[in-house]
Amino acid sequence: MKSAVEKLNPTEAKITIDIAYADLKPFVQKTYKELAEQIQIPGFRKGKVPSKLIDQRVGFDFVVENALNEGLNDFYQQALAEHELTPLSQPQVEVLSKPEGDDREADSQVEISVAIRPEIELPDYKGLKIEVDAREASAEDEQKALDELRGRFGTLKTVDRPAAEGDHVTLDLQALVDGEEVDAANDLSYEVGSGTMLEGIDEAVTGLSAGEDATFETTLAGGEHSGAEATVKVKVTAVKERELPEVDDEFAQLASEFDTVDELKEDLKKQAAESVAVEQGIEARDKVLEKLVELIEVPVPENVIEEQVTQHFDSPQAQASAEPGHDTEEHRAEVRENAATAFRNEIILDAVAEAEEVGVEQSELIDYIVNMSQQYGMDPNQFAQMLDGSGQAGMMVGEVRRRKALAKVLEYATVTDSNGKAVDLSKFVGSADDDAADQGAEADSAPAVSEETAADEAATDEAAETK
């Protein structure tokens, strides 16, 4: 087998493969053997049908096409390895010549077009200068943390007054579409102002006391009437306010491992300072990546990006879960830009990981999967099985490796705040999993190319089909 590559552009290649008949012959023989097991001809035992009779039944062209399909993936993989190409999409194959007619042992030639990972040249990324906003933990931050902790240990107390923001109310609801009831529920608990129920309900229940009701118009967001305009009748049956515990030593012992409230406050102060450091670390990490992208020109394969946009909007799963007004030109443009940005980030960070010889330990992958499973509200074991079953385990390894590569660049960077003060991010950089949840959130808005195109796994595992 011989192959040659013509790079049509930095992200697209045409591979021409010349296949000697001697290389194709084992696949031809395998095809005859399989067909002999399937075809039944009187006078011949199963599996013993001669090749000439098989040709009469199905045609020699069919045998050759099947043999090419069987062997083409092997030839394709050899060509990719020989020319050090990484595919980003499923290959498009055209057979230029093959054995046929009187020349049954002719050589074959196929032409394969495929999107490929572009090659880039990394600049000197060590010592990048990054400025982040000056931040300091304030007394307000400490008080907010204390109030949140008190809220977790608060109790609900029934009050005889109109409902206000932050109160918990017990509700009876009835939804009507065109005057007909489509849904109803009693004794629902709702926090006023949380925005977790129907649009318009906060305005309707604010100011109502127990026993009072109101009616408002809204758009239903779930069920078989999703998107329908509805009239909702709501009745408040109870108003409760959260009663917070006193801040004393007894509360400190209840809510923490500390014996005194002074120890608890000191710990909350420390946590507030650590939170500021994490915020600065995330900002610095994002700015380091932005600077890398500015320094490096990364060609983007438009056909791969377009495939992702199409899958995002047009796949059966996407259409089944899409909300009204989901598919707009503005949203498509946003998804397209996010996909292109994610592609550039991946190419750059993969190159950094290669340069820094970054590897991924099994423990790091497990920690990442645990963090990601929490983002989706799934059991870690079930989440891992889902990834393995969908062939995305390799994608997870790539994500962890890129995150470690970015942390390496950040480690080399010089970071100061807007006041000119040096920022120590050693603790932030030292923990490879500190921003796993944040990375997972970014994945929702900027889909990874590896996930949508199976660039490194699926595209190279599946056989190319002939036209």
Of all residues in the chain, the percent with pLDDT exceeding 70 is 90
The two three-digit tokens of residue 465, written as one number: 């089909």
Of all residues in the chain, the percent with pLDDT exceeding 90 is 63
pLDDT above 80 for 263: yes
In a domain, 87, yes or no: yes
- Backbone phi, then psi, for 145, in 5-degree steps? -65, -40
E-strand stretches of 90-208: 92-97, 108-115, 129-132, 155-158, 168-177, 180-191
Q: In whole angstroms, what separates CA 245 from the centre of its chain?
A: 41
My answer on whether 273 and 389 are in the same domain is yes
My answer on whether 25 and 83 are in the same domain is yes
Please state, in angstroms and rounded to a whole number, the distance separating the CA atoms of residues 158 and 210: 10
Side-by-side strand order, sheet with 108-115: 2-9, 12-19, 108-115, 92-97
My answer on whether 239 and 265 are in the same domain is no
Task: Name the helix (H) or strand (E) containing 14.
Answer: strand 12-19
In a domain, 139, yes or no: no
In a domain, 417, yes or no: yes
pLDDT in tens, 429-452: 876 444 443 443 343 333 333 333
My answer on whether 111 and 184 are in the same domain is no
Looking at per-residue pLDDT, the higher value among 274 and 327 belongs to 274
At residue 387, the pLDDT reads 83
At residue 117, the pLDDT reads 93
Q: What is the mean pLDDT of the chain?
A: 87
- Residues with Cβ < 8 Å from 206, sequence gap 6 or more? 162, 163, 164, 165, 192, 193
At residue 390, the pLDDT reads 80
Looking at per-residue pLDDT, the higher value among 393 and 61 belongs to 61
pLDDT in tens, 76-112: 999 999 999 999 988 999 999 999 888 889 999 999 9
My answer on whether 413 and 285 are in the same domain is yes
**DSSP SS3 for 340:** helix
CATH code at 93? 3.30.70.1050
Residue 180, strand partner residues? 177
Residue numbers of the domain that contains 307: 261-428
The two three-digit tokens of residue 176, written as one number: 């009507």
CATH code at 222? 3.10.50.40
Please state, in angstroms and rounded to a whole number, the distance separating the CA atoms of residues 370 and 25: 49
My answer on whether 288 and 398 are in the same domain is yes
Residue 40: pLDDT band by 50, 70, 90 thresholds? confident
pLDDT in tens, 121-163: 999 999 999 999 998 888 999 999 999 999 899 999 999 999 9
At residue 131, the pLDDT reads 95
Please state, in angstroms and rounded to a whole number, the distance separating the CA atoms of residues 166 and 189: 12
**DSSP SS3 for 263:** helix
Residue 376: pLDDT band by 50, 70, 90 thresholds? confident
At residue 445, the pLDDT reads 35
Q: Which of 423, 314, 298, 436 is nearest to 365 (CA)?
A: 436
Cβ count within 10 A of residue 30:
14
Q: Which of 354, 358, 441, 429 is nearest to 400 (CA)?
A: 358
At residue 94, the pLDDT reads 95
The two three-digit tokens of residue 376, written as one number: 């989706």
My answer on whether 105 and 163 are in the same domain is no
Pairing of strands 213-219, 229-243: antiparallel
My answer on whether 49 and 173 are in the same domain is no
- Backbone phi, then psi, for 3, in 5-degree steps? -145, 150
Q: Are 397 and 360 in contact (CB under 8 A)?
A: yes
pLDDT above 90 for 215: yes
My answer on whether 277 and 386 are in the same domain is yes
pLDDT above 60 for 262: yes
At residue 446, the pLDDT reads 36
- Mean pLDDT of all residues in 295-317: 87
pLDDT above 80 for 460: no
pLDDT in tens, 228-252: 899 999 999 999 999 999 999 999 9
* Number of residues assigned to the chain: 467
First vs last Cα of the chain: how many Å apart?
20
In a domain, 205, yes or no: yes
In a domain, 443, yes or no: no
pTM of the entire predicted model: 0.69
Look at residues 115, 141, 174 and tell me which one is the last residue of a structural domain: 115
Residue 410: pLDDT band by 50, 70, 90 thresholds? very high
Cβ count within 10 A of residue 382:
11
pLDDT above 80 for 315: no
My answer on whether 386 and 305 are in the same domain is yes
My answer on whether 294 and 330 are in the same domain is yes
In a domain, 307, yes or no: yes
In a domain, 459, yes or no: no
In a domain, 150, yes or no: no
pLDDT above 70 for 338: yes
Looking at per-residue pLDDT, the higher value among 110 and 374 belongs to 110
Q: Name the DSSP letter for residue 87.
A: B
Look at residues 181, 216, 243 and tell me which one is the last residue of a structural domain: 243
Q: How far is CA 463 from CA 73, 89, 292, 388, 466, in A?
A: 4, 12, 36, 20, 10
- Mean pLDDT of all residues in 161-169: 94
My answer on whether 275 and 393 are in the same domain is yes
The angle formed by the CA atoms of residues 29, 31 and 32, to the nearest 5 degrees, is 65
User: What's the total number of domains in the chain?
Assistant: 3
Residue 461: pLDDT band by 50, 70, 90 thresholds? very low
- Backbone phi, then psi, for 227, in 5-degree steps? 90, -10
